[in-house]
């Protein structure tokens, strides 16, 4: 019994003697480090991850050999780390926050390999046909992470993906042709949707409203946008707030669509 009392007394003394300021700072730093590591990993920041880990190790060693590192020093380091991460990855952080609060609904139905390959061919065929006729189009490949406001700005279609259906939506005299088409898995979820337009005066003049909308939505959500220029018929692939490929070929489109169906959707589910 005395031994148990001694253990309880020791734990009580540790509890009363604990410096809660350091404890709170340690927890805050651990949470910050985890979030920074997650953002960097998702955006392939391998070198920055190594630098961040090295900095933490060096700081830990310095703390163990020095008695002069105060609570204020740790707070300053945490503050500097926050500023660096937010400054360098503000777009990714914004996108992550939007994804966290995005709508979630019924998941995708099981899709076979042949079914997915057929869908990819239908999308490519529609985009190539519209490119030949200079029919403007904006298709967003979503993994259910767009805010409900974007979907409600258009019309929910929930139709099978076929080339004639895609071309019919973007036919110049069709009522939904000016907005964006939202594809989710094996369905055209919505059409005629309005997207946030990026405000950047440094963009080339040949990038019109559809490109700006594609840049805007991919800056705040983890989606891929396929754009057909109404003026030139040029096909562009937009992701992570930048034009990844201009003058996209069939192979480029297939790579982007394969990435969406075999990676993005799998990661989301």
* Domain extent listing, the chain: 2-88, 113-268
Query: Cβ distance 114 to 154 under 8 Å?
Result: no
Instruction: Using alpha carbons, list the distances in angstroms from residue 12 to 9, 26, 162, 213.
Output: 5, 21, 69, 60
Say which residue, 248 or 149, is predicted with more confidence: 248
Question: Which pLDDT score, from 0 to 100, does residue 208 have?
Answer: 83
Residue whose token pair is 């967003």 = 140
Question: Which pLDDT score, from 0 to 100, does residue 228 have?
Answer: 96
* Helix (H) or strand (E) segment spanning residue 226: strand 224-228
Residues 51-60 pLDDT 10s:
666 666 666 6
Q: List, as one string, the DSSP characters of 198-228.
A: P--TTS-TT--HHHHHHHHHHHHSS-EEEEE
pLDDT-derived band at 103, boundaries 50, 70, 90? very low
Question: Which pLDDT score, from 0 to 100, does residue 260 have?
Answer: 92
Question: Which pLDDT score, from 0 to 100, does residue 189 have?
Answer: 94
Residues 73-96 pLDDT 10s:
555 666 666 666 655 555 555 555
**pLDDT surpassing 70 at residue 65:** no
Q: What is the CATH number of domain 113-268?
A: 3.40.1700.10
Q: What is the average pLDDT value for the chain, to the nearest integer?
A: 77
Question: Which pLDDT score, from 0 to 100, does residue 22 have?
Answer: 61
State the Cα–Cα distance between residues 28 and 77, nearest whole angstrom.
Answer: 12
State the Cα–Cα distance between residues 116 and 136, nearest whole angstrom.
Answer: 25
State the DSSP code for 262: I
Residues 213-257 pLDDT 10s:
999 899 888 899 999 999 999 999 999 888 999 999 999 999 999
Q: pTM, whole model, 2 decimals? A: 0.64
Instruction: Using alpha carbons, list the distances in angstroms from residue 269 to 34, 103, 173, 261, 264.
Output: 22, 14, 37, 11, 9
């Amino acid at each position: 019994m005395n031994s148990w009392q001694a253990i309880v007394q020791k734990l009580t003394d540790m509890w009363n003697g604990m410096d809660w300021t350091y404890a709170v700072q340690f927890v805050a730093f651990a949470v910050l480090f985890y979030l920074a590591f997650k953002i960097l990993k998702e955006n392939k920041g391998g070198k920055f991850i190594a630098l961040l880990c090295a900095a933490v190790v060096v700081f830990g060693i310095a703390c163990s050999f020095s008695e002069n590192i105060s609570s204020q020093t740790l707070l300053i380091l945490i503050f500097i780390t926050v500023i660096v991460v937010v400054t360098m990855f503000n777009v990714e952080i914004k996108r992550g926050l939007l994804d966290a609060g995005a709508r979630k609904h019924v998941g995708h139905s099981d899709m076979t390999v042949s079914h997915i390959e057929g869908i990819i061919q239908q999308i490519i065929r529609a985009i190539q046909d519209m490119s030949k006729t200079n029919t403007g189009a904006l298709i967003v490949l979503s993994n259910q992470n767009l805010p409900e406001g974007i979907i409600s700005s258009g019309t929910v279609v929930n139709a099978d993906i076929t080339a004639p259906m895609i071309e019919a939506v973007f036919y110049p005299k069709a009522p939904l042709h000016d907005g964006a088409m939202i594809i989710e898995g094996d369905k055209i979820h919505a059409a005629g949707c309005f997207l946030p337009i990026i405000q950047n005066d440094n963009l080339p003049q040949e990038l019109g409203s559809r490109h700006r909308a594609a840049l805007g939505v991919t800056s705040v959500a983890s989606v891929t946008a396929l754009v057909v220029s109404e003026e030139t018929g040029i096909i562009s692939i937009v992701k992570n707030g930048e034009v990844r490929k201009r003058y996209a070929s069939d192979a480029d489109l297939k790579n982007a669509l394969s990435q969406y169906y075999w990676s993005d959707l799998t990661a989301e589910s």
